[in-house]
Structure 1
Amino acid sequence: MAKPRASLPDADALRALIDGEGLLFLRATPNAKGDALAIEDGKLRVRVTAVPEDGKANKAVIRLVAKGLGIAPARIELVRGATAREKVLRITG
C-alpha cells in the first residue's frame, strides 16, 4: 500500500516562521499515522511516520520541512533538539 501524501501548508507561510538568523522552531511528533506540517497558534508542528531511533525521525523531519519550503534537505541543519520534541533547525542559503 502506498504512503499517503504529506499535508503541507503554503511555503510562504512556513518562510514567515523563520527568524532573522535563519532559525525555525518546531515541535515534532514521531511515529504518527501520516506525515504532516501544520501551523498551529503561530508555531510549526511536524508529524512524521518515522520512529525516533537512530536519527530516523530527525531525518524525516528535515526532509518534510525541506519539501514544504521547496528547498534541498542539505540546506537544513538540526541545531538543537536531537532527542527532544522541541527542535530548532537552521535554514541556510
Structure 2
Amino acid sequence: MGESAQRPRAPQLKIRQTENGVAIAVRLTPKAARDAVEGIEEFGGDTVLKARVRAVPENGKANAALEALIAKWLDVPRSTVSVIQGAKARIKIVAIDGSAIGLSALVATRLTEFLKSDS
C-alpha cells in the first residue's frame, strides 16, 4: 500500500568516554599493501573501525603503525593515541586523549565521510 521502504540503519561505532578522552575498538589487518582506515564493520557482534597497516605484527610494530595512522586520520598529536587493550589480538582498543566531546564529534565526522563515499 503506501508503505515506504526504509534504508537499513548503518551500524554505529561505539565511542566510549574514558578519564582522559575516548576509546574505540579497531580491527587491525597488518602486512597490508597500504596504511588506511577503511570504515566500520560488524565483527564478533560489535561494530569496529577497520584499519590496515603495512607493518608486521612483531615487537609492537603494527600497534605503533596503528597509533600513527589513527593520529593522522583524526589530525591529533601522535602522543595522544595509544593501544590500551589487545596488543596481540586482531581487535584492539585504542585510546585517544583529549576532550571526549570534541573527539567523539571528530570521529563521527570522519565516519560520516565514509558513509558519503559509499552512497
TM-score range, shorter chain: 0.7 to 0.9
Q: What corresponds to 1:57 in structure 2? A: 62
Q: What corresponds to 1:18 in structure 2? A: 15
Give the unaligned 5+ runs of structure 1: 1-15
Matched, 1:67 2:72: yes
Give the unaligned 5+ runs of structure 2: 1-12, 42-46, 99-119
Q: What corresponds to 1:27 in structure 2? A: 27
C-alpha contact 2:28 2:92 (8 A) present in aligned 1:
yes
Higher relative helix content: 2
Report the TM-score, using the length of structure 2 for normalisation: 0.60
C-alpha contact 2:24 2:48 (8 A) present in aligned 1:
no
Q: How many residues align?
A: 78
Q: Distance in 1 between matches of 2:92 and 2:29?
A: 11
Kindly name which structure, 1 or 2, has the bigger radius of gyration based on alpha carbons: 2
Query: What's the C-alpha RMSD, in Å, of the aligned pairs?
Result: 1.5
| Identical amino acids, percent of aligned pairs | 38
**Offset of residue 78 of structure 1:** 1.3
Q: What corresponds to 1:10 in structure 2? A: none
Q: Distance in 1 between matches of 2:56 and 2:84?
A: 20
Give the partner amino acid of 1:38.
Answer: E
4+ residue runs of structure 1 moved beyond 2 angstroms? 16-21, 40-43
